[in-house]
Amino acid sequence: MNDGVSVDAVLDREWNLLIGGRLVPAASGHRYADESPVTEAVIASVPDGNEADVAAAVRAAEPAAAAWRRVPARERGALVAELAGILAAHARELALLDAIDGGHPVTGMLGDIDIAADALRLFAGLGIELKGSTIPATAANLHLTVREPFGVVGRIIPFNHPIMFAAGKIAAPLVAGNAVILKPPESAPLSALRMGELFSGVLPPGVLSVVVGDGPATGRAVARHPAIRRIGFIGSDATGRSIQRDAAGAGVKDITLELGGKNALIAFPDADPDEVAAGAVAGMNFAKSAGQSCGSTSRLLLHESIADDVLERVAARMTGIRVGSPLEPATEMGTLSSRGQYDKVLRYIRAGRDEGARLVTGGARPPGLTDVPGLYVAPTLFRDVWPDMRLAREEVFGPVLSAMTWKTEEEAIRIANAVDYGLTASVWTNDIRRAHRAASALEAGYIWINGSSRHFTGVPFGGVKLSGVGREESLDELLSYTQLKTINVMLGEPG
């Protein structure tokens, strides 16, 4: 790993799109200024791609996809596995890019690269599972199914884990035999653009394109292109629904969406207060993403008998989080990712105060960071939050934890399910029957019992309600990038 790389060194390059195996500027020649949330200064001039660049990527991808699908699945997997090694070899460089470009702690980004490499290796080894089945529909004939790739697919990823999503989310569609057009976040595009450059030496030209532009135009072009019939999106529910509308205007497309969350952690009276507090803080994902995570358990639902004890411990843990420059190895939590995110979080903090919630800790810039650049907000805890408050209903997508109390199990479940989202949930109890009863009643796609935050290799992840459709991080994701074809061979009974 190239540990000696500096921030100045990784930024000192001309940034280009990857289209058809070539590094190119935007067709328009336009570029946009990419600002760092750490320095609040421009750090890169990025190609401002648009519909013309997406169209060029599709023109390159269509013949590439036709050839790529004919490569045996295990050989495609072997090439994808090579990408994991490239990530590891350039881990320090890519982690620094996410730190300066997205505000995420460099140590956490090294962990994200490990996760992305693990995803590449997982799907590289699952290619042999791209199999169909035979159906004994008749005695005399042969009835079978086969799985085939879509052709050209689009992946649109968010800003909260830039390199993890850029690398990890192309694995399944590539192994399934598709060509991928990756659209990175415009506020943190650098690691994905660099990744495209690195990967272009392994994948055939056109199999992977990386196209970014300032604003929604590039993502909308991906959704609207008639040749892109499969799209995977991670982001807000509003943008996800916009993608569905745009895609419907261009044809009938297969779309999976991993969207927002307003996730509940429910702690029953028999749970250990210290374990609950540790789980609540871990579940907020303050480290790595400053709470900018769709899976964060941002609603803390405590039985009234343990609420004071748990909240005292939560507050102590939150005030102990090391907030600072994401470039420092000891930093646990960096900045918010953009000025827009920063202003949005502060608006929600003001709304919490205005609606009568009690601020326990945080709510402003951290001590010691008041007179330096950087979009810092201290880990923030509110208590005495009521279910009808905005803090209890709307996704903040930042380092703000809202605590509520309840008296009965039925009330806890009702509060947990009273939002439009359903991504994750966490249940803390030592009663196994109660744990399963609560997990069954909760409207969420991914549930922990006596745990939070962690994802597990091969375990399907995804939500219900406004939190999306489809499942990822598993065999389900790989198969979702294929179409099932049925073949009936008439051997004994002519059709």
Q: Which residues are catalytic?
A: 258, 294
Q: In 90-236, which residue ranges form alpha helices assigned H by DSSP?
A: 91-102, 106-125, 162-168, 171-175, 190-199, 217-224
How far, CA to CA in Å, does 411 sit from each of 192, 310, 344, 408, 443?
A: 44, 19, 30, 5, 14
Helix, strand, coil fractions of the chain, as percent rounded to 5: 40, 20, 40
How far apart are alpha carbons 287 and 315 in whole angstroms?
16
Distances (CA, A) of 306 to 21, 312, 385, 402, 451: 58, 10, 16, 16, 18
Q: Is 292 helix (H, G, I), strand (E, B) or coil?
A: coil
Rounded Cα distance between 198 and 447, Å, is 36
Strands 482-489 and 142-149: antiparallel
- Residue 128 CB neighbours (<10 A): 10
